[in-house]
Chain A
Amino acid sequence: MPRLEAVILPLAALIAGLAVFSLFLIGLGKSPLTFFALVYKAGFGTGFSWQNTLSRVAPLLFAGLCVALPARLGLVVIGGEGAIALGGLAAAVTGVWCGALPGALGLMLMASAAFCVGGAWIGTVGFLRIRRGVNETIASLLMSYIAIALMNHLVEGAFRDPASLNKPSTAPLPAALRVGDMPIGIEVHWGLGIGVLCCVLCWVLLDRTTIGFAARVAGDNIRAAQVQALPVGRLITGFTALGGAMAGLAGYFEVTAIHGAANASLVAGYGFTGILVAFLARHNPLAIIPVAILLAGFQASSGLIQRRMDLPDATILVMQGIVFVTLLLSETLYGRLRLFRPDRWEQRA
């Protein structure tokens, strides 16, 4: 029954949030029905809609994992944005250095660089937590500002392509170091496939290995884990680093599949949307996949809603915010609803 609860409660929270949002729309004199019809049309209604939606999913998968993995240890890491920026920069700089190498090898090196830099950045947050007792939420958020400033500084200074006059960027990647689209008939780059694969692998790690089990024990009760001599410190550093590495890969795909260079466009808020994705998915890596697709669909519909309903672009953000709040409220209901406790049904009978 707890498994059923974990599915039904978030869904109910989602529906409740959308209901509250509908009241908000009615208050503005707009029809919720038109709104949701447009969301469906622009996000999921046509082949182009699916392409629009799926092309936004990849960074949300990786950014969601950056929150979900540390969350299994009870850590709230919200600084994925910084790891995305630095991961993207590392990938772009590596790509410039190994421009002469064969494409596949160069792409591997770029991905490794993004993986390591993102991992080191968020891993530092975990390290500070266990060594210095620094709150990981605050540390990761503040470090993301440092990361973005560092990325901007390096893009405008040491790593700047002198030809990028009015938009400072790293040198453009050669065509061999650009990741293309997946052969599935619509234009969606490989980040989606690799992102889904990473979600599955992370789920296996968390749910089917002793390391994942140890992490969950430490997350539920750190004292019990310590009594059992579980390596809590290494688990925390490892899982934060792995989360950061995922965010780094988000930056890698943004650079190699979309931008072809690192510049200020890397800071697009994916790291923050990832927080919402992970919480909606209740930090389950498999659930991240459908949740990311749903949120990407919402974002894909933002434009049509602006144009057809004359609503501001923040409308979709308001909706996401309301859903997030109802979701957090629903957390208090776990274990309290008799519906999910068959053992108590009999007491009543």
Chain B
Amino acid sequence: MSFRLDRRSLLASTAAMGATALLPGRALAADPLTVGFIYVGPKDDFGYNQAHAEGAAAVKAMAGVKVIEEENVPETVDVQSTMESMIQFDGATLLFPTSFGYFDPHILEVAPKYPDIRFQHAAGLWSADKHPMNVGSYFGYIGMGQFLNGITAGHATTSKKIGFVAAKPIPQVLLNINSFLLGARQVDPEITCQVIFTGEWSLAVKEAEATNALADQGCDVITCHVDGPKVVMETAAGRGAFVCGYHANQSPLAPEKYLTGAEWNWADVYTGMVQTVLDGGTIDNFVRGGLADGFVKMSPLGPAVSDAARAQFEATRAEIMKGGYSVIKGPLKDNAGNVIAAEGQAFAEDDIALESMDYLVEGVIGSTS
């Protein structure tokens, strides 16, 4: 126990020294708010990290803010050092460590040491009874976006087979797969969706193999949930299939074949949070939202989207924007025949039950194990 105290006093004295060094500067001029963004992969990956980097770019354009970024930071002791380094060397007071795996144990390890620094993490993991108050969670419900993707896919497919390249069979991914198929079935209940899991968040070779395998089986609209959808988009378009995007706008990769895409709208979310801090307020510890709340947006519809598809897409989106829309609703069975929802039963977007999803709905060809 004694050395813990030593550590603290050391930290306190280091912090005090740092503070005295900074004092004159702070007193003379209003220093900008320094905001740090940390990405697990490259920030131009056309995917998860690019979506966050686009949000960071929007923050960069704000007055009185300085943005620092670091990419390719693994979910190890590395990210702890990066956070502390941003605080110690750059004076960052608001951090956005964006990868899911940064939270436990890394943010939880560092945050208690810096009670005046705010850590904002992109996932719904924070809970008031377990975690420090200077940590916050924000998260978007993007399944609805895959549902809208599915509607354009349902109109575009002629083989009635659509495909999904997925990283891991975890709840978030399963909800996206199920939403994609259910969207397509709004158009034609005969449509099936073949899913292939690659087992890794970022593994270009297997993503290309999976995409080719889907095309070989006759899938003519393909989407995905991996960190960087670039390989899937380019491979699928190269094989003549239509594509629906995910995470960010991938239309530059396949301008003719791109139908639409489910994108994060971090620019709005981040500028909102930073503005709150600039105004002297406190960001809520737990914020989440979907399409209707501006957390998620859709890519502009591509040239291959028919008028009928456009009409149904817009009508459904308008319905979703009203709030209270349910994608997972009865009568619904999983692809092993078990009842998921009875007639009349519906799961709202933010229903906690959806966060432990472990099934693929009827019409999805594939297995979670």
Chain A residues within 8 Å of B, Cβ to Cβ: 41-42, 46-48, 52, 55-56, 149, 152, 156-157, 165-168, 181, 183, 185-187, 254, 258-260, 263-265, 268-269, 299-300, 303-304, 306-307, 312-314
> B114 → chain A, closest Cβ, in Å?
12
Report the nearest B residue to A56, measured CB to CB. B77
Q: Supply 12 further A-B pairs (C-beta < 8 A) apart from A55-B77, A156-B169, A268-B74.
A: A48-B84, A52-B81, A166-B172, A183-B3, A183-B6, A185-B3, A258-B105, A264-B101, A265-B76, A269-B74, A303-B73, A304-B85
| Chain B 155-200 residues near chain A, CB threshold 8 A | 168-172, 199-200
Q: How far is the CA of A157 from the CA of B200 in the complex (A)?
A: 15
Complex-state Cα separation, A79 to B86, whole angstroms: 34
Is there a chain A Cβ closer than 8 Å to B284's Cβ? Answer: no
Which residues of chain A are within 8 angstroms of B81 by Cβ–Cβ distance? 52, 55-56, 300, 303
Complex: A240 Cα to B217 Cα, angstroms? 46
Chain A proximity of B14: nearest CB distance (Å)? 6
In whole angstroms, how far apart are the Cα atoms of A149 and B88 in the complex?
Answer: 38
Q: Which residues on A sit within 8 Å (CB–CB) of B6?
A: 183, 185
A306-B78 Cα distance, complex, nearest whole Å? 14
Partner pick for A166 among B72, B123, B199, CB 8 A cutoff:
B123
Of A157, A166, A269, the residue contacting B171 (CB under 8 A) is A166
**Measured CA separation A260–B81 after assembly (Å):** 18
Q: What is the CA–CA distance of A264 and B167 in the complex, to the nearest angstrom?
A: 13
Take A42-B85, A52-B81, A185-B6 as given contacts and tell me if A265 and B75 are in contact as well, using a CB distance cutoff of 8 Å.
yes
- A304 with B89, Cβ < 8 A, contacts A56-B77, A258-B77, A265-B101 known: yes
A187 with B74: in contact, given A52-B84, A307-B90 (CB under 8 Å)? no
List 25 interface pairs A-B (beta carbons < 8 Å), by A numbering: A41-B89, A42-B85, A48-B14, A48-B84, A48-B88, A52-B85, A56-B78, A152-B199, A165-B170, A166-B170, A187-B7, A258-B76, A260-B104, A264-B200, A300-B81, A300-B85, A303-B73, A304-B85, A304-B89, A306-B69, A306-B70, A306-B71, A307-B86, A313-B73, A314-B72
Q: Inside 8 A of A299's CB, which chain B residues have their CB? A: 78
Q: Which one, A157, A168, A260, A313, contacts B70 given CB within 8 A?
A: A313
- Which of B10, B74, B78 counts the most chain A CB atoms within 10 A? B78
- Footprint of A on B, CB under 8 Å? 2-3, 6-7, 10, 14, 68-78, 80-82, 84-86, 88-90, 100-101, 104-105, 123, 168-172, 199-200, 355-356, 369
A339 to B146, CA, bound (A): 70
B residues near A156, Cβ cutoff 8 Å: 168-169, 199
Check B77–A165 contact: CB distance below 8 A: no
Name the distance in Å between A187's Cβ and chain B's nearest Cβ: 6
Bound-state Cα–Cα, A182 to B277, Å: 37
Residues of B within 8 A of A149 (CB): 199
The 9 A-B residue pairs with the shortest CB-CB distance in the complex, in nearest-first order: A183-B3, A313-B72, A265-B75, A52-B81, A268-B76, A166-B170, A307-B68, A268-B74, A303-B82
Q: Note all chain B residues with C-beta closer than 8 A to A187.
A: 7
Known: A42-B85, A300-B81. Is A157-B369 also a contact (CB below 8 A)?
yes
Closest Cβ of chain A to B10, distance in Å, is 6
Asked if A165 meets B355 with Cβ closer than 8 Å, knowing A55-B77, A307-B68, the reply is yes
Q: In whole angstroms, how far apart are the Cα atoms of A258 and B78 in the complex? A: 11
Which chain A residues lie closer than 8 Å to B101 at the CB level?
167, 263-265
With a 10 A CB-CB cut-off, give which of B70, B73, B123 has the most chain A CB atoms: B70
Tell me the complex Cα distance, A187–B114, Å. Answer: 14
A314 surroundings in chain B (CB, below 8 A): 72
Residue of A47, A259, A263, A268 touching B14 (CB-CB under 8 A): A47
A148 to B, closest residue via Cβ: B200
- B70/A303 in contact, CB under 8 A: yes
Please tell me if the beta carbons of A307 and B75 are within 8 angstroms of each other in the complex: no
Residues of A within 8 A of B356 (CB): 165
When distances are taken between beta carbons in the complex, the residues of chain A under 8 Å from B84 are 48, 52
**In whole angstroms, what is the CA distance A312 to B199 when docked?**
28
Closest to A310 in B: B69
Chain A residues positioned under 8 Å from B69 (CB to CB): 306-307
In the complex the two chains form, is B89's CB within 8 Å of A260's CB? no
Bound complex: CA of A181 vs CA of B113, how far in Å? 15
